[in-house]
Structure 1
Amino acid sequence: MDWLSTLSNGGTVEWRRAVVALLVAFGLTQGIAGVYMLTFRGLSYSRTIVQSMAMGSIITCTLMLAVGNNIAAGIGVAGGVTAIRFRTTMRDPRDVVFVFASLAIGMASGAQAYGAAIAGAVMFSAASLLLHVTGYGSRRQPDGLLRFVAPAGQAGAEIAGSIARILREHCRTFSLVTLREAAQGTVMEHAYQISVHHPDLRVQLVTSLQGVPGVEDVSLMLQEPTLDL
């Protein structure tokens, strides 16, 4: 057992502290990773980012345990880390924040500041959940882009009232985006950004416009507001 005592530099107590610190770092960052998965919004979900949170905390915790109060060791570790070139880029700032939070939890655990690590993880997770539930920072986006073709000239002026009435009945807001001539000036192509009162009214809106004499090629391109692209 002499070799074990030599490696541990002080007996089994140091090993126990290291194991506890690593388990605390891993456990807390597992919770942060779970909050990330729960509150994720978007299309580019990456499993590797979630896994890197837990693994990154173990690395930073190990470095803090190795350095301890040794300034020379800290300088050596800092020099070794700066020599590494990380080529991975994250397009979403939110991903960077979660990874950085996991690294910070690992550093606090490695420094055996368990109170700071637990309080920081709980506060960060609670803040993330609160911002997700309240939709903080989000803005109301149009539900979609409505396109249709209507007659030009006097015929178009006669049905303009019917089109406006249908839009007012089904839409909370509507805004004309483009209006251009087509088919040698015989028809006008309309494009509106719209927000309907209720998603169930989308089909009724398209059907009502198709029932207006002269209105053709009605299409509604939906844009899902729950996704951050």
Structure 2
Amino acid sequence: MDTINFSDIFKSSFLEKTSSFSIVDSLIGLLVAFAVGLFIYAVYKKTFSGVIYSHTFNISLIIMAMATALIIMGISSNVLLSLGMVGALSIVRFRTPIKDPMDLVYLFWAIVAGILCGAGFIPLAIIGSILIGLVLVLFVNKITIENPYLLIVKYTDAAIENAVENLVKNQAKKYSLKSKSVMPGGVYEVTYEIRVKEQDSQFITDITDINGVQSAMMLSYDGNFTA
């Protein structure tokens, strides 16, 4: 009768997985993922063009690159583990809204870098990250973009609508009527989408100088408007 000892119980699973695990390769992959994450961190901080800079989001890019590399290392040598990991990740729901499309670019960049580092394609991860970083540094905040504005004008006489529209037509590079409404008391409100010439601040003052105009307000927005 054959006897089963402690090592025979784990020989087919635990010991085999441990013997195929390379601590050196894993440490190299994680360190490279950390270095690439720091590079992404620096590029994001340099190219950030918003108003409120989120340091926690930037830190999460480093952690995301390392965590993705760790996951790829774990599932690369085990098919069953990879299927289980896909099922586990499918129930994760991210509730944080991403308002800036460039934030999605950085998230995708961190994930891709982590995948490459975890799969052992370290030269590709380094070269690709350097090229992506150069493109972002050279183009983001270096090209002047004509951001659209919403011009909201309130006036009390319908007859001056043509005067307002003519001034908008002459002062703005492009414009389009978004909405028009009449409020109680005979107050009219009209909304235009405009692109002003070289951030002309005098434009809004000229509109308020028109007789009958109660108020004029110009807001920057991202192109989405619901009347």
Q: TM-score if structure 2 supplies the norm length?
A: 0.64
Note the alpha carbon deviations across 1:194-226, whole angstroms, 9 max, x for none.
Answer: 433243x43x344434444x423032232256x
Query: Is the CA contact (8 Å cut-off) linking 1:143 and 1:223 kept in structure 2?
Result: yes
Question: Which deviates the most, 41-50 or 105-114?
Answer: 41-50
Question: Which deviates the most, 117-126 or 31-40?
Answer: 31-40
Query: Is the CA contact (8 Å cut-off) linking 1:8 and 1:15 kept in structure 2?
Result: no
SS in 2 for 1:23: helix
Q: Is residue 104 from structure 1 mapped to residue 112 from structure 2 by the alignment? A: yes
Aligned-pair distance for 1:26? 0.5
Change (3 A) 1:144 1:101: closer
Aligned to 1:113: 121
> In structure 2, what residue type is equivalent to 1:51?
I
The correspondence of residues 38-53 of structure 1 with structure 2, limited to 5 A, is 38-40=46-48, 47-53=55-61
Query: Is the CA contact (8 Å cut-off) linking 2:152 and 2:192 kept in structure 1?
Result: yes
Aligned to 1:132: 140
Aligned-pair distance for 1:147? 0.6
Q: Is residue 143 from structure 1 mapped to residue 149 from structure 2 by the alignment? A: yes
Aligned to 1:223: 220
Aligned to 2:196: 196
Identity %, equivalent residues: 21
Change (3 A) 1:151 1:125: same
Query: Is the CA contact (8 Å cut-off) linking 2:64 and 2:114 kept in structure 1?
Result: yes
Unaligned runs of 5+ in 2: 1-14
Note the alpha carbon deviations across 1:135-168, whole angstroms, 9 max, x for none.
Answer: 59x7x4433314131534xxx37x956x566545
Report the aligned-residue RMSD: 4.2
Aligned to 1:35: 43
> In structure 1, what residue type is equivalent to 2:214?
D
CA distance in 1, matches of 2:224, 2:44: 15
SS in 2 for 1:144: strand
SS in 2 for 1:50: helix
Number of equivalent positions: 205
Match of 2:85 among 81, 86, 91: 81
Q: Is residue 24 from structure 1 mapped to residue 32 from structure 2 by the alignment? A: yes
CA distance in 1, matches of 2:31, 2:56: 20
Aligned to 2:173: 172
Change (3 A) 1:27 1:170: same
CA distance in 2, matches of 1:65, 1:164: 62
Change (3 A) 1:94 1:76: farther
Unaligned runs of 5+ in 1: 1-5
Aligned to 2:206: 208
Aligned-pair distance for 1:27? 0.4
Structure number with higher relative contact order (C-alpha < 8 Å, ≥ 6 residues apart): 1
> In structure 2, what residue type is equivalent to 1:59?
A
Aligned to 1:3: none
